[in-house]
Every structure is written in structure tokens, then in C-alpha cells.
Amino acid sequence: MATVSQDDSKVPPDQPVAENGNNPAANVGEDEWDEEKLEKAMQTLKEMHIQLRGLRTTIPRLIAPLATKQSSPETLYRDFTQSTKTANQEVQQFRQLMNNEESLKVLEQARKSRAERPNGIKPWKVTQDPDWATRGP
């Protein structure tokens, strides 16, 4: 333990002070990712991946009513309107997931982890997890 001669007002007198002057107890929980938190983060990443993969077919599904012969202009309009609404909902859901506070924390933790330990990161292969595209418990 070290004492800091400058401003100790952030840390109560009975709390230990780290070499950099910060209170180590205040950082517990922020940087520490236990197994439960990591599992939840993996589920978040899996959901991001599933939704992103689903978006790959958005444009083909969006224009599908235009590519097929319709019985009437009203049917074409109705089908195209419905496909537009569906595509918009899927994109909005993905944007909400990506901008969700929990998702941003997961991505930031991944960035920090990669910056701290850039070596030895193995690429993920679909053959390693046969259930990668299924939502599970």
C-alpha cells in the first residue's frame, strides 16, 4: 500500500490507496467479468450474430413481391408494403440490439480484452458449434 500526498479526498481514510491513487474497491465489478457475466455476454453476441445473419436476406425478401407476377396491382402493393414493414422491423430490432447498453458494454469489453491480449485469439469456425444459429435457453 502506498499513500498519496496529493488529493486523498476521493478515498475515505480507512480505505487502501493503490499506487495510482485510485481506490481499488471502486473498480471491482467494472473490470471483473465472472463466468455468469461472460455467459450472458456470449448470449448477447450470439443474438447479434443470428440477427445479423438474418439481415443478409432482407433485400431479397424485400423485393420478392416485385420479382414475382402478381394477380393485381393491389396485391403487389399489399405484398410489397408488408415486406417493407417486415424489413424495417428487422433492421430496427438489430439497431436496438446493437445500441443497447448491455451490447455496448460487451463490445467494449471485447475491444479492451483484444487490446490487452492481442496474441493467441483463434478465429471461430461454424463447425465448432453446430447450434450457432439457434436461439436456446
Residue 101: inside a domain: yes
Could you tell me if residue 86 is inside a domain?
yes
For residue 31, tell me if it sits in a domain.
Answer: no
Residue 33 has what pLDDT? 86
Residue pair 57/83 in contact (Cβ under 8 Å)? The answer is no
Question: Is 16 domain-assigned?
Answer: no
Distance CA 123, CA 120 (A): 10
- As for how many domains the chain has, the answer is 1
Phi, psi of 86 (to 5 degrees): -60, -45
pTM score of the predicted model: 0.67
pLDDT digits (tens, 9 = 90+) for 84-114: 999 999 999 999 999 999 999 999 999 998 9
Q: Is residue 96 part of a domain?
A: yes
DSSP three-state, residue 91: helix
- Comparing 50-54, 60-64, 127-131, which segment has the lowest mean pLDDT? 127-131
For residues 34-57, give the mean pLDDT: 92
Q: Is residue 13 part of a domain?
A: no
pLDDT digits (tens, 9 = 90+) for 65-84: 999 999 999 999 999 999 99
50 within some domain: yes
Residue 135 is assigned to a structural domain of this protein: no
What domain range is 60 assigned to?
42-113
